[in-house]
Structure 1
Amino acid sequence: MLHHSFVLRRWKQWLALPVGALLLTVAACEKTSYTGALPEPQTASATASAPIASPVSPVQKDTVFAYVQHMPEYPGGIPKLLADIVANTHYPSVAAEAGIEGKVFVGFIVEKDGTLSGVRLQHGMQEEGTQAAAAKALNDEALRVINTLPNRWTPGKQGNRLVKVSYVVPISFAKN
C-alpha cells in the first residue's frame, strides 16, 4: 500500500510536464487580435471596372533610394574611395590639442548623372564646453573632404533606370 501511493504520486508529478508544455504551445500559437477595420470585400462588378494595378509602382522622378539593385560606385571602387578620403583628410590642430577622436558620418546623394549633391552631416562629433570648437572643426573637415571628392561616380540603377541614391561615408579621426 505504501509502495502504491508513492508510484501514484510520481505519476502526478510527471503529468504536470506534458500539461505545462501543452499550455505553452497553445499560448505561443494563439493569434493576436486585429483591432483595425477589415477592408470591404469587392464584388465581381467592382473588380471588372477597376483598372489592374501594376505590382511594382513606377519610379517617381524625385525619389531618393537608400538601397538599389546596383549601388553607385566610386571610380576605382571602395578601396580607392577610402584611399582618397585618407589622403585628403587633415586632423585639425584644434582637435589634436583637445584630444578628441571619433567618427563623423557624412551623407550625400549620388545623382542620376553621377554627381554629388546634398552633402550633409549625418552624425557628427558632439562635444560641450571647451571642446565644442574642436568637435566643430572635425565636422567641418569631414564635410570638406567629401566636397573635394570627384563628381564622376557611376550612378545607381533600379531595374534599367538610373536613380538618385543616398550614400553615407564614415570618416574616422584618431591621433597618431
Structure 2
Amino acid sequence: MGIAMSLNQAKAQDNPNKVYDFTSLEKTPDYPGGIKKFYEFLGREIKYPEVAKRNSTQGKVFASFVVEKNGALSDVQITRSLTPETDKEALRVLNKSPRWNPGLLNGRPVRVKYNINVNFSMK
C-alpha cells in the first residue's frame, strides 16, 4: 500500500497544474509574517467604496484564490457577495497582494486553493 501511495503522489506531482487543498499538504501556503499581517495589508489597502459608505454597508465578502507555486495569487473569485462595489474592491486588493509562501507537498511547491473573507466595517 505504501508503494501505491508513493506512486500516486508522484503521479499527482507530475501534473504541474493540479490545485491542492489544505488536507493533502505537508505545509500550507502562508502570507509572509502570518495571516495577521495579511489582514493588516487588507486594512491598509481597502478603500471603502463611496456607495457602500452612503448606504452604511457593512459585512464580509468571501473570496477564494489559488496560491501558485511562486507565491503569486491567481484565479481570485468572489464566492459570497456583499455588494457589487465591495466585491470589486475586495478583488482589486486581493489581486495586488504581495506574493505568499507557497504550499509544499513532498518538499516541492504546489498550487493550493485558499478561502478568505474580506471585512467591510465602518469604524
TM-score by length of 2: 0.84
Please give the root-mean-square deviation of Cα atoms over the aligned residues, in Å: 1.7
The share of aligned pairs that are identical, in percent, is 35
Computing the radius of gyration over CA atoms, which structure comes out larger, 1 or 2? 1
Structure 1 residue 54 displacement after superposition: 0.7
- d(CA) in 2 for partners of 1:75, 1:136: 30
Aligned residue for 2:89? 141
Number of the residue aligned with 1:171: 118
Identify unmatched segments of 5+ residues in structure 1: 1-52, 126-134
> 2:71 pairs with 110, 114, 124, which one?
114
Aligned residues: 115
Give, as a single letter, the amino acid of the residue that structure 2 aligns with 1:54: A
CA distance in structure 2 between the aligned counterparts of 1:88 and 1:55, rounded to whole angstroms: 44
User: 1:55 corresponds to which residue?
Assistant: 5
Equivalence for 2:39: 82
Runs of at least 5 residues in structure 2 that lack an aligned partner in the other structure: none
Return the offset for 1:175.
1.9
**Residues 14-39 of structure 1 deviation map (CA, whole Å, 9 limit, x = unaligned):** xxxxxxxxxxxxxxxxxxxxxxxxxx
TM-score, structure 1 length as denominator? 0.61
Task: Map 1:7-156 to 2 at 5 A.
Answer: 54-56=4-6, 57-58=8-9, 59=12, 60-67=15-22, 68-125=25-82, 135-150=83-98, 152-156=99-103
Q: Please give the alpha-carbon distance, in whole angstroms, between the structure 2 residues aligned to 1:171 and 1:160.
A: 31
Aligned equivalents of 2:53 and 2:95: distance in 1?
23
Distance 1:169 1:94 in 2: 23
Shift of 1:124: 1.4
Amino acid at match of 2:47: H
Larger RCO, structure (CA 8 Å, separation 6 or more): 2
Query: Counting helix residues as a fraction of each chain, which structure ranks higher?
Result: 1
Higher strand share: 2
| Whole-angstrom distance in 1 between the partners of 2:106 and 2:91 | 31
Instruction: Please give the alpha-carbon distance, in whole angstroms, between the structure 1 residues aligned to 2:113 and 2:5.
Output: 24
Task: State the alpha-carbon separation in 2 of the partners of residues 101 and 165 from structure 1.
Answer: 29
